[in-house]
Amino acid sequence: MKVLMPVGGFPTEYNPQSGVFNQVAAEYLAREVDLTVVHFRYFKPGRKLIDRKSFEGYKYIVVSVPTIPSLHKNWSWLHFQLYAFWIKKSLHKELSKADLVHCVQGEIGVWFSKIKKGYPWKLTTQFIGTDLVSELKEHRKKPWIRGWEEQLDGASFNSQMLKELFLTYYPNFQGALKTIYRGVNLQRFSANGARKELFTFLFIGGLANYHVGEGRNLKGGIDLLKAWSELSRAGKVDAIQLWFGGVDAVEDVIYDITPLENLQNFKAMGPLTKDEVLAAYQACQVVLVPSLQDGLPNVSVEAQACGKPVIGSKVGGIPESVVDGKTGLLFEAGDTKHLSETILAISQNANLYHELSSSARNHVRQNFNAENFGGAYFNFFKEVCAE
């Protein structure tokens, strides 16, 4: 089966953490199908319009698209016309030979729905989180987008919550539906590594300035800074520390939000590579996922695979991955006081911490083993193609 997998993010030389989950998914899918990843990027001077490469097990094409940011942000008619034209021009050869196009992210699914007519392939879209929670919620009723889902032959979801949300938008959808957890590589993500002397909390959601509703606070980074600042001023962080990583998790950006002198036992880590993320998981005690919007973040599963409890917000698919009181603790999203109390509760109760830690990896082994990912998607693709 020839599968084209368009994505909006994939690791690059200058941003090795971007779209890393898409890269992992590609590696597992390539075991089951003849896979070509198509990575869409903004055009910049010096960047090739089309760049074809091969990785072990699959082909990889970078397509750079001239983009007007304001049109992209607003999902304008001209934006979609431009993308549709450029997709057909750049990928006609691959599109003519594909059996199935599997778009990762709702917006990309909309692009391909505009060019499907005249091609032989089936079209599926994998919904990952903000595409349903924010983007389609905001834009789906625009005249040039309305009805796009009728071109979909199947839809898959990173969490059951996203599937249920999709059906509230499109209750009459006739295609195949499937929730498939991305899972985690249990051999790579293990409990190895030296721990620090101080009880360490890790956050890698960063402060990226998303163009959807919550902006820099989408992953809860601003709420976490406020909570840690409150704990610092109250003198309650002497025995604990916070590692704060991810996109834009640098002092200049953080200082615009919270004065650094108010953040005691705090380390700004900036963007992290895959290996740095793994090392941080293994060295910390607890991982924080305080998102205001999310699908089912891989960080919550990866952390538990490393034997680390997760403190997560009760949004999206986070409660599907974290068993409250068993493998981690959940709190109300946006409630910085509750977040502060939860941080102290787990750091001051050794018995609670060890109970959560001992259950976390087994929970992932039973429910989120990435070895099942490729086969699950292959079965889904076969179901779609058989209809």
Summarised one tens digit per residue, pLDDT across range 73-118 is 889 999 899 999 999 999 999 999 999 999 999 999 999 999 999 9
Question: Do 169 and 70 share a structural domain?
Answer: yes
pLDDT tens for 136-186 read 999 999 999 999 999 999 999 999 999 999 999 999 999 999 999 988 999
Q: Is the pLDDT of residue 15 over 70?
A: yes
- What pLDDT shows up at residue 47? 87
pLDDT grade for 273, boundaries at 50, 70 and 90:
confident
Q: What amino acid occupies position 378?
A: F
- Report yes or no on 191 lying in a domain: no
- Report yes or no on 58 lying in a domain: yes
Question: Do 343 and 314 share a structural domain?
Answer: yes
pLDDT grade for 293, boundaries at 50, 70 and 90:
confident
The pTM of this model reads: 0.83
- What pLDDT shows up at residue 277? 93
Question: Do 136 and 205 share a structural domain?
Answer: no
Output the domain CATH number for residue 31. Answer: 3.40.50.2000
Question: Do 343 and 243 share a structural domain?
Answer: yes
Question: Do 375 and 363 share a structural domain?
Answer: no
Question: Do 234 and 163 share a structural domain?
Answer: no
For residue 212, give its domain range: 199-367
**What average pLDDT does range 201-224 have in this prediction?**
91
- What pLDDT shows up at residue 21? 86
**Of 76-80, 127-131, 208-212, 371-375, minimum mean pLDDT range:** 208-212
Q: Domains in the chain: how many in total?
A: 2
- Report yes or no on 19 lying in a domain: yes
- What pLDDT shows up at residue 147? 95
Q: Is the pLDDT of residue 194 over 60?
A: no
- What pLDDT shows up at residue 19? 83
Question: Do 206 and 344 share a structural domain?
Answer: yes
**What mean pLDDT, rounded, does the chain reach?**
93
